[in-house]
Amino acid sequence: MNPVFTRRTLMLGAGISALLPLSACGSNSGAKDAAQGLASALTNLDVNGQRFVDTLASDAQASLQNIVRNMAGASVEVTAGDVAKGDNKDARTVPLHWAWTVDSSQQKWEYDTTATLNKIEDAWQTVWEQTLVHSDLTHTSGLQLVTDAPTRGEILGAHDSKIVALRPVVRVGLDKTQLSDEEQQSKSARALAELVDVDADAYENTVKNAGDQQFVEAIVLREEAFKELDRAKLDAIDGVHTAEDSLPLAPSAGFAPDILGSVGDASEEDVKNSDGTISAGQQVGRGGLQGRFQDQLGGTYGYAVNIVNLETDGSPGYKLSTPQEVKAVDGKPMTITLDADLQQKAVDLLASQTSPSAIVALRVSTGEIITAANGEASEGFSTALLAQYAPGSTFKVPTSLALLRKNFTPESTVNCSESVTVDGQTFKNASTYPADALGEQPLSVAVAQSCNTAFINERDTVSQEDLQNAAKSLGVEMSIDLGIDAFMGTVPATDSEVTHAASLIGQGDVLVSPLAMAVVAASAAKGEIVKPVLVKDAGLEEAKPAGDSVTADEAKQLQKLMRGVVEDGGLKPLQELSPNVAYGKTGTAEYGNDNPPKTHSWVIAVHQDIAMALVVEDGDFGSITGAPIALEYLKAASA
Q: In whole angstroms, give the CA distance from residue 424 to residue 345.
A: 46
Helices 340-349, 627-638: axis angle to 10 degrees equals 160
Which pLDDT score, from 0 to 100, does residue 19 have?
32
H/E element, 426: strand 425-428
Which pLDDT score, from 0 to 100, does residue 274 have?
73
Q: In whole angstroms, give the CA distance from residue 53 to residue 347.
A: 74
pLDDT tens per residue, range 300-351: 999 999 999 999 999 999 999 999 999 999 999 999 999 999 999 999 999 9
pLDDT at 25 over 70: no
Question: DSSP label at 20?
Answer: S
Give Cβ neighbours of residue 34 (< 8 Å, ≥ 6 apart).
117, 123, 124, 125, 126
Q: In whole angstroms, give the CA distance from residue 610 to residue 607.
A: 5
Q: In whole angstroms, give the CA distance from residue 233 to residue 235.
A: 6
Which pLDDT score, from 0 to 100, does residue 266 have?
81
pLDDT interval class at 10 (50, 70, 90):
very low
CATH assignment, 22-140:
3.10.450.100
35-48: average pLDDT: 98
Please count the residues of the chain. 639
pLDDT tens per residue, range 53-99: 999 999 999 999 999 999 998 999 999 999 998 778 899 999 999 99
pLDDT tens per residue, range 357-370: 999 999 999 999 99
pLDDT at 381 over 70: yes
What is the distance between the terminal CA atoms of the chain, rounded to a whole angstrom?
Answer: 115
Q: In whole angstroms, give the CA distance from residue 39 to residue 60.
A: 14
How much is the pTM? 0.84
129 or 105, higher pLDDT: 129
155-331: what fold? Penicillin-binding protein 2a (Domain 2) (3.90.1310)
For residue 529, the SS3 value is coil
Which pLDDT score, from 0 to 100, does residue 3 have?
39
129-158: average pLDDT: 96
Which pLDDT score, from 0 to 100, does residue 280 have?
73
pLDDT tens per residue, range 485-533: 999 999 999 889 999 999 999 999 999 999 999 999 999 999 999 999 9
For residue 159, the SS3 value is helix
131-160: average pLDDT: 95
pLDDT tens per residue, range 172-201: 999 999 998 999 999 999 999 999 999 999
pLDDT tens per residue, range 209-261: 998 889 999 999 999 999 999 999 999 999 999 999 988 899 988 899 999 99
pLDDT at 24 over 50: no
Q: What is the dihedral of CA 552, 553, 559, 560, to 10 degrees?
A: 160
pLDDT tens per residue, range 409-462: 999 999 999 999 999 999 999 989 999 999 999 999 999 999 999 999 999 999
Dihedral (CA of 401, 403, 404, 410) sign: negative
7 or 593, higher pLDDT: 593
Average pLDDT, the chain: 92
Q: In whole angstroms, give the CA distance from residue 547 to residue 504.
A: 19
- SS3 annotation, 344-393: HHHHHHCCCCCCCEEEEEEECCCCEEEEEEECHHHCCCCHHHHCCECCHH
Which pLDDT score, from 0 to 100, does residue 27 have?
52
Residue pair 69/314 in contact (Cβ under 8 Å)? The answer is yes
The structural domains of the chain, with segments of one domain joined by +, span 22-140, 155-331, 340-511+521-592+605-611+626-638
> Nearest Cα to 173, choosing from 206, 131, 209, 141?
206
Q: In whole angstroms, give the CA distance from residue 316 to residue 512.
A: 61
CATH of 340-511+521-592+605-611+626-638, one of 3.40.710.10, 3.20.20.110, 1.25.40.10, 3.50.50.60: 3.40.710.10
How far, rounded to the nearest angstrom, does the alpha carbon of residue 78 sit from its chain's CA centroid? 38
